[in-house]
Amino acid sequence: MPIIAAVLAVVCLAVSSLAVCAGASAAPPPRGKTLFGGPQDILRWINTYRAKPTPDRLPEAVKAMSAFALFRDLDSSGVYIGFMAGVLGDNPDKADKLVAGMFPMPPEDQVAVVRAVAYSGLPDWKGLLGRFAERMPARKVLIQRHLEGKLPTLETVPLASNPAGLDSLWGYFFATGRMAPVDRIVDALAWAKDGNDVEKLTSGSMAKWTLANNALQNKDLLDHLKAEQARRPKPVAAQLAEVVEAAETYETSKIRKEAAAAIEELRRKGPESVRKLTFWGMAGQTALALGCVVAGTLGHPEIAVPCVIGGAASSAALRIFTPQ
């Protein structure tokens, strides 16, 4: 199953070879014995997880994610948090044990644990989060906001101008194969032709591209998207038809090119607040924080870009959707 990682999320991998992009250098490996020698090993495990689920390895994987600084930028860690949430949600009888095994965890990385529990969809996720609150005193306010319902769950996380939200939905799907997260990504297709908001247009475009690239390699997903066409409003159904066509003809690069042209046109001709390059530099880099922009992980070398492990690589992703 192909996976998405966020643009700052460390590595460009090809599904076939799982090779790390040239020039990337990993953080020091976790102390002690581990089967995760680098980010590429974590992604390989995620990539093959649904074929043979091994939920008991989640704590080890999470500690490795922390050691490799994969949680340090929350805009780029959505796929990992979503995956953690999916494993927890699929294993309610093991949830307490799995979360306990993630500790000790540096305070700055505990945000990922809090969000994973809140996103898990477990009937008693609030109880689970409360039982571990004492281990995360630095995250007291965040935990309280979740328990009070003041912060979103995976079902309500906003997707406009929030690449981590899209990534989290994909991560949950990679862990579980459930289509509910996919349906939320399909909702974002309503923005794929937005002519007024560059962040919505970019989020809609990324939703469209990732749906096509993943459907290209997952028949169950492709069949689901075909069925969704009849249940969606005409504008979204039209976008889905293009997604299905691109997946079935292996022409996903067409979606990328059309999105790049639309985004550039809006940047140039849109309102002053949108077309300013300084604004685009900020909004675009945030909105495009999708993992090596699907690139190598989905087996499309023509769109692969250099990634810097642990570094800010959003400028590389920005070039994907910005004409040179």
DSSP string, 50-115: GGS--GGGHHHHHHHHHHTTTTSSTTT-HHHHHHHHHHHHH-GGGHHHHHHTT-S--GGGHHHHHH
In this prediction, what percent of the chain has a pLDDT beyond 70?
73
Report which of residues 67 and 202 the model is more confident about: 67
How many CB atoms are closer than 10 A to CB 188? 25
Residue 130 lies in a domain: no
Residue 55 lies in a domain: no
User: pLDDT tens digit string along 35-60?
Assistant: 799 888 998 898 889 999 999 999 99
Residue 47 lies in a domain: no
Kindly indicate the confidence band of residue 34, based on its pLDDT and cuts at 50, 70 and 90. Answer: low
H or E segment to which residue 159 belongs: none
For residues 316 and 35, what is the distance between their CA atoms, to the nearest angstrom? 30
Q: Which residues lie across from 5 on neighbouring strands?
A: 291
Question: Residue 262: which domain range?
Answer: 187-321
Q: Which two tokens stand for residue 280?
A: 């685009």
Residue 5 lies in a domain: no
Q: How many domains does the chain have?
A: 1
| Amino acid type, 303 | I
Tell me what the mean pLDDT of segment 186-195 comes to. Answer: 92
Residue 231 lies in a domain: yes
pLDDT of residue 310: 24
Tell me what the mean pLDDT of segment 133-142 comes to. Answer: 97
Average per-residue pLDDT for the chain: 77
User: pLDDT tens digit string along 213-226?
Assistant: 889 889 999 999 99
Residue 205 lies in a domain: yes
Q: Which residues lie across from 291 on neighbouring strands?
A: 5
Q: Whole-model pTM?
A: 0.78
Kindly indicate the confidence band of residue 33, based on its pLDDT and cuts at 50, 70 and 90. Answer: low
Residue 179 lies in a domain: no
Closest by CA position to 24, among listed 225, 216, 309, 264:
309
Q: Which two tokens stand for residue 324?
A: 């040179």
Residue 70 lies in a domain: no
Compute the radius of gyration of the chain from its Cα atoms: 19
How many CB atoms are closer than 10 A to CB 72? 17
